[in-house]
Amino acid sequence: MAVPIVISTALIVWASRVPSPVRTAAEAKRIGRLIGAWTAVQGVAIFATFALCPRFGIPDAAVPILAIIVGLHFLPLARGIPMPVYYATGSAMIAAGAIALLLPAADRYFATGIPCAIILWVSCIALVQWGRRNVLA
């Protein structure tokens, strides 16, 4: 269980060393509102998922649906920030969640968690590489 924590921590430390793009105050405020709005929508959808899946007798579907929700959350951010890497991140997470829903209930958590962790790690690496090309150039 320590391996994902170590990988995530290492990626966060590594990524934090790359400067953020220079943005105007108005652009930063617009992006902040965009992220806040879509994060709120995501939060409501996640709450509803974990409240409703057990009521519908499909508690094992909650985690794959969570992956789909998080994936959907990346799509408007990809356009609004803009951050093209987020299209791939969102699409891959939606696909991972959808595929996990097709599996037996006992396999869904593992089949969702591992792929989504890898997707997010690869996205972090891609964002750092994008940042180095675009910010440091």
Per-residue pLDDT tens over the stretch 18-55: 877 788 999 999 999 999 999 999 999 999 999 999 99
Per-residue pLDDT tens over the stretch 54-89: 999 999 999 999 999 999 999 999 999 988 999 999
**How far, in Å, CA of 117 to CA of 134, rounded?**
25
pTM: 0.88
* Closest among 36, 102, 39 to 65, alpha carbons compared: 102
115 upstream amide cis, omega within 30 of 0: no
> Is residue 98 within 8 Å of residue 128, measured between CB atoms?
no
Q: How many CB atoms lie within 10 A of CB 63?
A: 21
Residue type, 43: G
**How far, in Å, CA of 66 to CA of 30, rounded?**
26
